[in-house]
Amino acid sequence: MLETTRCFGTAFTQAERCKKRLTGLIPPAVESLDLQVQRCLHRIDSLKQSPLEQYAYLDRIRTESSNLFYKLVMGNLKQIVSIIYTPTVGLACQEFSRIYTPASAPGLFLSLADQENLDLVISNWPGADPDICVMTDGSRILGLGDLGVNGMGIPIGKLSLYVAAGGFNPSKTLPITLDLGTNNPKHLNDPFYLGTRSHRPRDSQFYEFVDAVMAALKRRWPKLLVQFEDFSSEHAFGTLERYRNKYFMFNDDIQGTGAVILSGFINALKLSGTPLKQHRILFFGAGSAGVGVASQLMDHFTHAEGGLTKAQAKKLFWLIDSKGIVTSDRSDASRYPSHKKLFLREDMGGKQVGTLLEAIEHVKPTALIGLSSVGGAFDAAVLTRMGELNQAPIVFPLSNPLTNAECTFEDAVKHTQGRVLFASGTAFPGQEHPVTKQILEPGQGNNMYIFPALGFGASLAKATKVTDHMVYQCAVSLSKQLNEEETALGFLYPRIERIREISGLLARDVILAAVEEGVATEPFVTNLNLLEGSNESRQKKAAALLQWIEHNMYTPSYQFKL
């Protein structure tokens, strides 16, 4: 059927149908975009017993009519985001090779076999020149491990949030999966697996290929922002350090996760009543996300009012991996990957602390942050002890999906007598306070508060690179966006329904940070002279900048050309 028929369907007026010779090809009813959305919601509700079928239905809507899809998502974000992204996207990735159809949402698959022809392969992309791409190699998808090309669902889902929450035009987004094989025997032996049936290459070959991909992408689209997603921990840090000053890129697992948790942590610090330098932070999980979050928090400890030196701040952090606290004198210390060495303890005197509960007794933390993918690790004993040690314990179980969360909000409330300052990586329902009977709502440290605005601001600024200062200011800006009601209720994050409004404000502060760093090149931005003049003058310029940002945000609508 005609592309326009699929895109607009029953929204065409009778005159438009006649003009475009569509009469008879569409059911007679003429419907508004809002009514089409209501039909979609009805269908989604009828599929509520099967999240995977809900995902497949929405994937079809996204492919056939981006305006309808994003009108649906933006108007029902809290309901829809759990289907198009976590937790359902994890299930969709696991089943990707079995549910894939030729009509599935498009993307680029770049394989090792394409290395000598990357320019040609990339030029095959049929869409408009993209402003942003999300790129994965499928080696560490959520908490599900090596899924190979089945991980393509993550770039697709993430870009949906760049549009719905951030304001990117959907026609200017590009999902990319690097097909570097897989070390997962389940997929290698699956007759339906859609990727290359080989084991992953050595590091030297990996970096040679990714070097070639990044160079080819820049040749084709010099202003393209590349977001790295769900690479293995070692490669996540390796690619970030390798490319951050050479290309327009960032890593959401490291920088985005760190920023969103920093934002919630800033608000938790205020509510805890404990002075900054008296906090002791224990991380359960020492992978790329754990170290990324720890780095962002340490950065804040050195920048905040009355802040510490880097050496002083580092002493407030402890990391636990599968063998215990990461120390300089552990038997396997010589084999630590480079990112773990950033936070190794040198003051343990040979003492080995293996279990989480033992670590809590040793550290006596004010904050416990989980990025381990070990579901239920924060059990009753752990949570009870955190409640005994602190009047307002900070507990952030951040692993996704739901089955990998270190604890639930219900358990955290129960075992701390409702005193917990809580944020999770996945959504949990509210719980009744055991004493006051007030309904408590959990914070969700979801990266979608950060990466859409960070990406949109950086892209609009035409920044030459994404700097640490831009990421940090995005986090600080988010921490300031609670309204009066949210503040009164003790929220750590704004309600997710406000994310579009908030993203514009965060994008503004990202652009201001880019100007401060001297990396913004967009003429409209640089001509504003945002850093010059009186306070009143700078505020007026910032308001003009926000208006320009909001004007550039994509809004779904039907615009017919007769």
Q: Is 410 annotated as a binding residue?
A: no
Q: Is 340 a catalytic residue?
A: no
Crossing angle of helices 66-75 and 77-84, rounded to 10°: 120
8 A C-beta contact, residue 444 and residue 424: yes
Catalytic residue from among 71, 158, 172, 314: 158
Are 353 and 316 a contacting pair, CB within 8 Å?
A: no
Best CA proximity match to 511, nearest among 481, 451, 466: 466
Q: How far apart are CA 314 and CA 301, in angstroms?
A: 9
- 230 carries a ligand binding annotation: yes
* Gap between the terminal Cα atoms of the chain: 18
Question: What are the beta bridge partners of residue 367?
Answer: 281, 394
CA angle 12, 17, 23 (to 5 degrees): 120
193 is catalytic: no
Is 404 within any annotated ligand binding site?
A: no
Could you give the CA distance from residue 240 to residue 291 in angstroms, rounded to a whole number?
13
What SS3 class is residue 175? strand
Cβ pair 291, 342 in contact under 8 A = yes
Catalytic residue selected from 55, 70, 71, 85? 85
- Answer whether 475's CB lies under 8 Å from 457's CB: no
- How many other C-beta atoms lie within 10 A of the C-beta of residue 291? 28
446 is in an annotated binding site: yes
Tell me whether residue 229 is annotated as binding: yes
Check whether 34 is labelled as a binding-site residue.
no
Environment class of 204 (CB within 10 Å of its CB; exposed 0-12, middle 13-18, buried 19+): exposed
Picking from 267, 187, 260, 200, the residue whose alpha carbon sits closest to that of residue 235 is 200
**Looking up tokens 């994310």, which residue turns up?**
499
Ordered DSSP codes for 64-116: H-HHHHHHHHHHSHHHHHHHHSTTHHHHHHHTHHHH--TTSPP-EEEEGGGGG
Here the tokens at position 261 are 């948790």
Instruction: Categorise residue 87: left if φ over 0, alpha if ψ from -120 to 50, beta otherwise.
Output: alpha
Helix ranges (H only) for 178-232 are: 185-188, 203-220
Binding site listing for a divalent metal cation: 229-230, 253
Binding site listing: 140, 229-230, 253, 400, 446
Query: Looking at the annotation, which residues are catalytic?
Result: 85, 158
Binding site listing for (S)-malate: 140, 400, 446
